[in-house]
Chains A and B, each alone.
Chain A
Amino acid sequence: MTFLHPLALLGLAAAALPALLHLLERRTPPEAEFPPLRYLRDAERQSARRLRLRHLLLLILRTALVAVIVLAAARPIVPTGRGGGGGGGGGGGRSGAVHAPTALAVVLDNSLSAGAVVDGRPVLDRLKALARASLAQATAGDRLWLVLADGVARAGSREALLASADGATATPQRLELVPAVERAARLVAAEPLPAREVHVLSDLQRTALGTGTVDVPDVALLVLAPPERVPANRGVAAARAGEGGLGLTIAVSGTPGAGAAPLVARLQAPGNDPAGGRAREVGRTLAAPGQSVTLPLPPLAPGWWMGEVWLDADELRGDDRRLFVVRVAPPASVAADAGVGPFVAAALAVLRVAKRVTTGGGVSIGERLGAAHSVVLPPGDPALLGQVNRALSARGVRWHFGAPGPPGTIASADLAMVRGVQVNRRYRLEGTEGDSGVVATVSGEPWLVRDGGVVLVGSRLDTTWTALPAAPGFVPFVDALANRIARGEALVAEAVGVPRVQFVTRGADTVGATVFGPDPRESDLTPGTPDELHRSFPGARVLDEAGLAAERFAGARRADVSGLLLGFALLLAAIELAVASMSR
């Protein structure tokens, strides 16, 4: 049993009042003559036992009456077990039903997918109403958290969290549901309160479940059941321009089975917002979820071009538009020495034809350092390695060639075209500044690094060293090496966020850009299957809205018995009155 107003229990001291009053009252009774005292004594003798019992009964009744009233004032709460309505609705919080102090975390999934409209109502509105109902039933003794799509567990008062839940909007962020629920469960499990609950209010996208498992003991996990009807949805998962703006690759994601939908790409001249009216359409095609299409882009003048890809509107509008950026750099003037081998020479020839590079000294590729930007390959003669390293050191480059390294495959976040390509021979690249400037690795060791205007490659671009010259991505690799990496220009990066473009500048030059957009996995609205839910949340109870309303705080539900006590006090008062007024 707990009390809502435990300080009121101090009033139990008042239970001693009847006994005190009884003692005080006995002090000085008035005196009077009464001749038939013998009758009085006889009557008293005959009634002594009854009167003693009556006095004792009255004392007990009055003491109990005071104690019961004080207890009622302290608002005692007793467990009532599971079941019964929870008062749902989230109107006014307690409606007679109360519960033991509970640590409660509400996970409200306001990721992009919650913005889908189902049956004419955004899913997020339904989730918010349920979150409000859960929070509104909290009492002052509860400890509360609200976890939104950003995964941050916000602790706060009921009112503060209600305001946060009410103000939640669908965000482009993706909620990693299992880790978020796991964190929430561990938070509430750490609270020394009688009950712990986590309410998971999500559309339970399959893609959000991942492979993890939430298994925190002593925490009641209530999961809102996924919707029965899932709308077909399509979203622009990606829109990326090739190196130099040679083409625009568009990926479409969405609910499996959704048909193809028309999409339009528009491009805006540098310096203008693509959403403005001066954008021009550069392509139109049809694509279904899971498909990827490439639209050719018209020849573009050097500069940073912004564009966007639009899909026809569907139930989830947040993923129907994606921005992209095209970097068209002036062709690099490249000079390759004789030691680079035939493959690099051939690639440069192709690039010259395509006007991606020109002949000149802007970027030198070879076994030696050039005057300006240099791409340094390991010398064919190992005896020259020391000379190259001394030159690098003299230039102030913090990297140098080391001992030969084991073979492996190339990994790179920046250079997609070389990923997975086999490397047979290589020198380890050793630096003094950790991994700063590493562009690609082999077996986890740096293989392509950049420091200042110097790029070091761990292998010669020869098929005896690596399979790269024979790979389809070799020419684009050389293009990127000459036009972007050697000149220090960053790749156009992508990030999850509100659709926008952030440019990276160095001095007056723009050297990179980050394109923000929604997480493409949010476009697939397919919920997890019961098996998948059970695997992710073993021990959880998956409930519909009514079930959730009934089971909230059910493990800790308690009843305020103050009304019962007041009724009992009334009964005691009636008995006291009857006994006190009893003449015989």
Chain B
Amino acid sequence: MVDSRRLDLLDPAEVARLGGIEIVAQGVVEGFLAGIHRSPFRGFSVEFTEHRAYQPGDELRYLDWKILARADRLFVKQFEEETNLRAMILLDASRSMAWRGDPARLTKRGYADRLVAALALILLRQRDATGLMTFDEAVRQVIPARVKAGQWTRLVRGLIDTPDGLGTAAEAALRQLAGLLARRGLVVLVSDLLLDRELALTALRYLRHRGHQVIVLHVMDPAELDLAGPPEVRFRDPESAASVVVRPRELAGAYAATVRREIAGWRTACRRHGVAYHHIRTDMPFGMALRLLA
């Protein structure tokens, strides 16, 4: 049973308690679409159809400036969605994604599953062919992009059937994905980006070089942004089993600066290579995360 409230704007953990991934994703998408009244995804996948007279409330970005310049009249452009967009969503299923800093929150993987399901549902409703690839240190699941009925269910099943993995090897998955996408399409990487940035960027640059639109969703738990804990603690990396003894209080400042620098580094590098980058916290409502993609 989907809550009648706007699930896209509620606390993700609270929303997750309402049901399985499908139910939550559907509820989120319904709320999200009801809020914006039309598909937020525009671009080369949609084509211009006609002009109509400007009415108050229309977005200025669709105003046809050329007509305004020639005839001094206000017209807005209208578009028609295409059905031949091929979107592939890459989900990082490594061990680090199965972590949360607070039991009251979703794990990064839990958050990413629901976000990916909602995103896939929106794309499929637009009749875009949508596929899924999950990976950890190797590619675990590959569901080719299709638009036929039952595709969303398969995608959700693919999410559910992908267990938490071990390490992270995004560049290998991205290179494999490049082989799968014969035509230009949309690639969405959902990961905590605890991986080798240079290797991953090389792969993303290759995708961009092949003409794909690439979006990176950097999922982070709030506890990863600010260091906290007992006076002294031994932190262990769940993927490599490496550990380090630190005093969170005295290292918190330097850590926060490092994280901010890392995020800024990803953002800068992605922008330089034409890759859209969005930083998403697991306490962020799903609707806000989806709006970042609009």
A residues in contact (CB < 8 Å) with B: 25-26, 29-44, 46-47, 51, 54, 582-584
Q: Which of B114-122, B153-161, B175-183, B257-265 contacts A (4 or more CB under 8 A)?
A: B257-265
Bound Cα distance A31, B244 (Å): 9
Q: Which residues of B contact A43 (CB under 8 A)?
A: 227, 251, 254-255, 257-258
Does any Cβ of A come within 8 Å of B249's Cβ? yes
Q: Which residues of A contact B233 (CB under 8 A)?
A: 29-32
Bound Cα distance A44, B192 (Å): 21
Q: Which residues of A contact B246 (CB under 8 A)?
A: 40, 44
B residues in contact (CB < 8 Å) with A: 95-96, 99, 192, 194, 224, 227, 229-240, 242-246, 249-255, 257-259, 262
Chain A minimum-CB-distance residue to B96: A35
Q: Which one, A35, A42, A583, contacts B192 given CB within 8 A?
A: A35
Given A33-B237, A35-B99, A43-B254, 11 further pairs, Cβ under 8 A = A25-B232, A26-B232, A31-B234, A32-B235, A33-B235, A34-B237, A36-B224, A38-B237, A40-B258, A44-B251, A582-B250
**A240: shortest Cβ distance to chain B, in Å?**
99
Chain B minimum-CB-distance residue to A33: B238
Q: Which residues of A contact B251 (CB under 8 A)?
A: 40, 43-44, 47, 51
Cβ contact within 8 Å between B258 and A29: no
Cβ contact within 8 Å between A583 and B253: yes
Chain A minimum-CB-distance residue to B232: A29
Q: Which one, A31, A32, A34, A51, contacts B250 given CB within 8 A?
A: A51
Among B192, B227, B235, B262: residue with most chain A CB under 10 A: B235
Q: Which residues of B contact A47 (CB under 8 A)?
A: 251, 254
Cβ contact within 8 Å between B254 and A35: no
Cβ contact within 8 Å between A41 and B236: no
Cβ contact within 8 Å between B258 and A31: no
Cβ contact within 8 Å between A32 and B232: no
Q: Which residues of A contact B239 (CB under 8 A)?
A: 35
**B279: shortest Cβ distance to chain A, in Å?**
14
**B32: shortest Cβ distance to chain A, in Å?**
29
Cβ contact within 8 Å between A31 and B236: yes
Cβ contact within 8 Å between A39 and B232: no
**B255: shortest Cβ distance to chain A, in Å?**
4
Cβ contact within 8 Å between A37 and B258: no
Bound Cα distance A34, B237 (Å): 5
Bound Cα distance A275, B207 (Å): 138
Cβ contact within 8 Å between B250 and A33: no
Bound Cα distance A274, B290 (Å): 131
Contact A40 B238, CB 8 Å, known A46-B258, A51-B250, A584-B254: no
Q: Which residues of B contact A33 (CB under 8 A)?
A: 99, 235-238
Cβ contact within 8 Å between B235 and A40: yes
Q: Which residues of A contact B243 (CB under 8 A)?
A: 31, 37
**A37: shortest Cβ distance to chain B, in Å?**
4
Chain B minimum-CB-distance residue to A42: B258
Cβ contact within 8 Å between B255 and A35: no
Among A40, A41, A42, A582: residue with most chain B CB under 10 A: A40
Can you list 10 A-B contacts (CB < 8 A)? A32-B229, A35-B194, A35-B239, A37-B236, A37-B242, A38-B237, A43-B251, A43-B255, A46-B258, A583-B253
Q: Which residues of A contact B237 (CB under 8 A)?
A: 33-35, 37-38
Bound Cα distance A304, B245 (Å): 110
**B96: shortest Cβ distance to chain A, in Å?**
4
**B9: shortest Cβ distance to chain A, in Å?**
28
Among B192, B194, B237: residue with most chain A CB under 10 A: B237
**B250: shortest Cβ distance to chain A, in Å?**
6
Cβ contact within 8 Å between A39 and B230: no
Q: Which residues of B contact A30 (CB under 8 A)?
A: 230, 233-234
**A199: shortest Cβ distance to chain B, in Å?**
61
Q: Which residues of B contact A41 (CB under 8 A)?
A: 244
**A45: shortest Cβ distance to chain B, in Å?**
9
**A14: shortest Cβ distance to chain B, in Å?**
22
Chain A minimum-CB-distance residue to B231: A25
Q: Which residues of A contact B231 (CB under 8 A)?
A: 25
Among A29, A34, A38, A47: residue with most chain B CB under 10 A: A34
Cβ contact within 8 Å between B254 and A46: yes
Q: Which one, A32, A35, A38, A583, contacts B252 given CB within 8 A?
A: A583
Cβ contact within 8 Å between B99 and A39: no
Q: Which residues of B contact A44 (CB under 8 A)?
A: 244, 246, 251, 254
Q: Which residues of B contact A583 (CB under 8 A)?
A: 249-250, 252-253
Q: Which one, A26, A37, A54, A584, contacts B244 given CB within 8 A?
A: A37
Bound Cα distance A31, B238 (Å): 12
Cβ contact within 8 Å between A38 and B194: yes
Bound Cα distance A32, B246 (Å): 11
**A452: shortest Cβ distance to chain B, in Å?**
106
Bound Cα distance A31, B227 (Å): 15
Contact A39 B259, CB 8 Å, known A30-B230, A54-B250: yes
Contact A39 B236, CB 8 Å, known A33-B99, A583-B250: no
Cβ contact within 8 Å between B244 and A40: yes
Q: Which residues of B contact A582 (CB under 8 A)?
A: 250
Cβ contact within 8 Å between A29 and B259: no
Cβ contact within 8 Å between B224 and A35: yes
Q: Which residues of A contact B194 (CB under 8 A)?
A: 35-36, 38
Q: Which residues of A contact B99 (CB under 8 A)?
A: 33-35
**B282: shortest Cβ distance to chain A, in Å?**
12
Among A26, A31, A39: residue with most chain B CB under 10 A: A39
Q: Which residues of B contact A25 (CB under 8 A)?
A: 231-232
Contact A29 B234, CB 8 Å, known A35-B194, A35-B239, A38-B194: yes
Cβ contact within 8 Å between A35 and B238: yes
